[in-house]
Amino acid sequence: AFSTGEEDAQIFNVAAGPSYYFMGGNNARSPYANLDFGYGFGQANNDEDIDGFSLGLGLGYRFFRTATTGMEINVRWATLFDPA
């Protein structure tokens, strides 16, 4: 994500995890679900910050799945776990 400095909060997250494609084989398009686990950092404009492990869940639709370059539409939810 990019920031212009006018936002109320900023979040940075690095995560990895599997995706499950509901239409297997050589289908060029497929809906999918994914799960990821990583580490993230967040900061609000009032200088409150949080960092910790993150968990994300997503649903999407991938186009041109078997091509060298693809495109997808997805919705993703993520949370940061505060160790304190």
**pLDDT value for 45:** 75
Band of residue 5 on the pLDDT scale cut at 50, 70, 90: low
Letter string b/e over residues 36-71, b meaning 16 or more CB atoms within 10 A of that residue's CB: beeebebbeeeeeebeeebbbebeeebeebeeeeee
pLDDT at 37 over 80: yes
Residue 69 CA: distances (Å) to CA of 11, 28, 36, 39, 74: 27, 11, 22, 27, 16
pTM higher than 0.75? no
